[in-house]
Structure 1
Amino acid sequence: MKNLALHWQILIGMALGVLWGMLASSLGLVDFTLDWISPFGTIFINLLKLIAVPLVLVSLITGVSSLSDVSRLSRIGSKTIGIYLGTTVLAVLFGLVLVNVFEPGKAFSPEKREEFKEQFASTTTQRSSAAAAVEQQGPLQPLVDIVPDNIFKSMTNNGSMLQIIFFALLFGIALIMIPPDKAAPVNDFFEGLNLAILKIVDIIMMAAPYGVFALLAGLVVEFAGNDPGAAVELLLVLGYYCIVVTIGLLFMILLVYPVLVMTVGKTKYKHFLKGIFPAQMLAFSTSSSAATLPVTMECAEKNLGINKEITSFVLPLGATINMDGTSLYQAVAAVFIAQAYGIDLSLTAQLGIVMTATLASIGAAAVPGAGIVMLVIVLQQAGIPIEGIALILAPDRILDMLRTTVNVTGDATVSMMVARTEGQLHPPTEITIK
């Protein structure tokens, strides 16, 4: 597969992983797959997580320090955050429109609801406990959490990405404010370190097709067990809900982002999609914006021609606070659960969902499954039974893959928009993807 482009290698790995998972389920090779194949997927994810913190820290420091003045940083930062919040609110609103029009929750029978509650009772309790800890915090706790008391402690936890971003911004601003001759050696050090980290990313990505194969093979056998028909039946029961979520995600990726790319970014969307495609495929297979970040940055710079000083600031920030796909999913899932329980949500309650889902997306960790924990907070705010999460846990991993793809595409879209408005977009004449 060495002669194939990376995105084709990843696609082949995904297809073979699904095929192997179904065969393993049919032939009784579930334990073999979980013991001898799935761990390689975990190793691949760990490698991506390994490089996430160093990449964000170093790339943000180099990106901010290269802006040369604090006023420019302020302009780019406010522009980036404003666009991120705008697209997130739009995603939540469209999700609410979809779920109210199609009403997928009313397709569940009481018997099926009880079956899901019993099957996922322990997982639901675990998610509820995690969310309860967040819910008990004060209104300004998210602001407090952004400022670390020990940066080295924060760097040992991928869930503390906002704290790392805060330190990197502070460090980069300090480099701008000290005399240039004193800052030069530090800038050179971080430039060299950044190159080394990017080379590590290249090395890790050589294993991407095999890691993706192992990830999806393990996912399919966990989902189906020894009965492949169980997966099919489950998907049929929850298919309506999944379709509604998918329509919303497609709305973002096929309508909202194209409009933004073509009007503000002044770029053909086909060109944009071709350039970001490897990152989309990795996002789909890993369900992690943070794990995909190295590839997203590489695609944005090499394939889309976005200046490094923009990507090194906008993309790490987006991987942490911009979760359009996750926010849309939370809106649909919350109302879906309310419908399944026969709860009619008022307009005020649904507007509360918009606010909560938007704010929750900012604090959600860019790792698989984080959206479920934040969904509990959304449910509590709207007065929807938390136990209803049991209804959507089964297909959540698949939807997580889809919404992460949207999250990553949204990050790249905003990066292109900011680059164009700053005169930092220089698309290559031809896209070459490794």
Structure 2
Amino acid sequence: MTKLELHWQILIAIVMAGMVGGTINYLNAHGVEDPGVFGISAIAVLDYIGTIFLNALKMIIVPLIFSSITIGVAGIGSGGNLGSLGGKTLLFYMATTIAAILVGLLLVNLIGPGYLDGQPVGDMLGLDAGGSQIALAAESRGPGDVAQIFKDMVPPNVVQAAADGQMLGIIFFALLFGYFMTQMDNALSEPMYQFWDGVFNIMMLMTEWIMKFAPIGVFGLVGKVVAEAGFSGVGPLAIFALTVIAALAVHALVVLPLFLRYLGKVSPYKMFPAMAPAMLTAFSTASSSATLPVTMNCVEDNAGVSNKISSFVLPLGATVNMNGTALYECAAAMFLAQAYGLDLTIAVQFSIVIIALLTSVGVAGVPSASLVAIAIILGAVGLPLEAVGVLLVFDRILDMMRTSLNIFGDSCCAVIVARMSGEETKLALDTKS
């Protein structure tokens, strides 16, 4: 018997959660006592299931982010890769990721999916605003807190920072750790690289294992939201999903083609059909890592990039270049902040941009792994992790779309770096015309 794909399992879980949660909400609205399970409130059971899933995600945050960034930086710095090729690649990855984040930030601010008729939609989504505490945590930030962001990147105690979930400090320490690994003799650096590479692969397996329970976690999280708020939150969530789709489209159809046209001197119109197989694979699997062989094949065969370029740029991009993921992280955090009715000061928005940029580097290339990064951002701006639950309704389809953008961003970098390195490629513009 063929096993049902994870995205279908999650979709079924969402439908079941809607049915169960809707029934509980209907009964409560008509004065019928919560049916419960073995004497325990049904809403409490759903909350219990969802909390375990969220705790599992929190459990892997520190080792996953640290090991991913460490081996990524160490891998870039080894073998002379931080020369011309590495410099061009990293510069392009950073530029496109920042551009993607800013596109997401702009559209969320313009559309305001977290508001309905000028009012926050937190109550419609069943979000417990927690009164003044959450508002104070975020709204008390001022322009001076921009400097505090950089101060937090250098923790006095990295172990305490890990325990407290201060991920900026962990990320900065991992960047330094990975870089200075490359400064040691090979006899010392190689065992360290193998160790952290092993840790990273273990964490990838753990992430994939935890995500197997995503349908159960989604059932609990979505079921609780529907049981408490009914279906009133579907509208705001649909507007948020459309906002994200619009932002992804702008980045894919406007921003990246501009990079291709003016930096790579290639035709953007030829790029899309050349990468169509890889983008469709990414859409169906929602995994950058699983799509990597197809991406390399398309870039080399359809775009005409040499293996020397693609074998360095694309595996690196599958780890550190997540245009769609970074855009979504920023948009999701902004949406939830709006839903809570928070005053989104420049300091808060700047911190979201910085953390989205840094955490997108350490996101595992497996389905829904960006939930880990979103949890980091929420904690950094003073929002409760439980708010992630409302995002799961449309997360799968958005995950498939942002993964396709991740792959397209990687391939654009490979083509541009190849062109800047003197390669002709099959997509070069006809300069004679």
Separation in 2, partners of 1:161, 1:76: 29
Separation in 2, partners of 1:406, 1:352: 24
Range that drifts further, 297-306 or 267-276: 267-276
- Residue of structure 1 in register with 2:85 after alignment: 76
Once the two structures are superposed, what CA deviation does each residue of 1:176-232 show, in whole Å capped at 9, x if it has no partner?
Answer: xxxxxxxxxxxxxxxxxxxxxxxxxxxxxxxxxxxxxxx9xx98xx88xxx9xx9x9
Separation in 2, partners of 1:344, 1:376: 20
Seen in structure 2, the aligned counterparts of structure 1 residues 235 and 85 have a Cα distance that, compared at 3 Å, is: same
Is 1:319 aligned to residue 331 of structure 2? no
Once the two structures are superposed, what CA deviation does each residue of 1:84-117 show, in whole Å capped at 9, x if it has no partner?
Answer: 1011111111211111111101136454322799
Seen in structure 2, the aligned counterparts of structure 1 residues 236 and 346 have a Cα distance that, compared at 3 Å, is: closer
Separation in 2, partners of 1:98, 1:330: 13
- Contact map agreement 1:337 1:391 (CA 8 A) in 2: no
Seen in structure 2, the aligned counterparts of structure 1 residues 139 and 234 have a Cα distance that, compared at 3 Å, is: same
- Residue of structure 1 in register with 2:174 after alignment: 141
- Contact map agreement 1:116 1:391 (CA 8 A) in 2: no
Q: Which runs of 5+ in 1 are unaligned?
A: 1-13, 27-52, 118-128, 163-214, 430-434
Map 1:203-352 onto structure 2 (within 5 A).
236-352=235-351
TM-score w.r.t. the length of structure 2 is: 0.61
Seen in structure 2, the aligned counterparts of structure 1 residues 348 and 325 have a Cα distance that, compared at 3 Å, is: same
Map 1:67-216 onto structure 2 (within 5 A).
70=80, 74-107=83-116, 109-114=121-126, 132=165, 134=167, 137=170, 139-144=172-177, 147=181, 149-156=191-198, 159=201
Question: How many aligned residue pairs are there?
Answer: 312
Is 1:415 aligned to residue 414 of structure 2? yes
Letter in 1 for 2:380: Q
- Residue of structure 2 in register with 1:355 after alignment: 354
Separation in 2, partners of 1:351, 1:135: 14
- Contact map agreement 2:125 2:232 (CA 8 A) in 1: no
Seen in structure 2, the aligned counterparts of structure 1 residues 158 and 300 have a Cα distance that, compared at 3 Å, is: farther
What SS does the corresponding residue of 1:79 show, helix, strand or coil?
helix
What SS does the corresponding residue of 2:425 show, helix, strand or coil?
coil
The Cα shift of 1:160 comes to: 7.8
Seen in structure 2, the aligned counterparts of structure 1 residues 161 and 143 have a Cα distance that, compared at 3 Å, is: farther
The Cα shift of 1:233 comes to: 8.8
Once the two structures are superposed, what CA deviation does each residue of 1:239-280 show, in whole Å capped at 9, x if it has no partner?
Answer: 100011111110111001111222222222221111111110
Higher helix share: 1
Separation in 1, partners of 2:163, 2:403: 21
Q: CA RMSD in A?
A: 4.3
Seen in structure 2, the aligned counterparts of structure 1 residues 419 and 260 have a Cα distance that, compared at 3 Å, is: same
Identity %: 36
- Residue of structure 1 in register with 2:52 after alignment: none
- Contact map agreement 1:91 1:327 (CA 8 A) in 2: yes
- Contact map agreement 1:279 1:295 (CA 8 A) in 2: yes
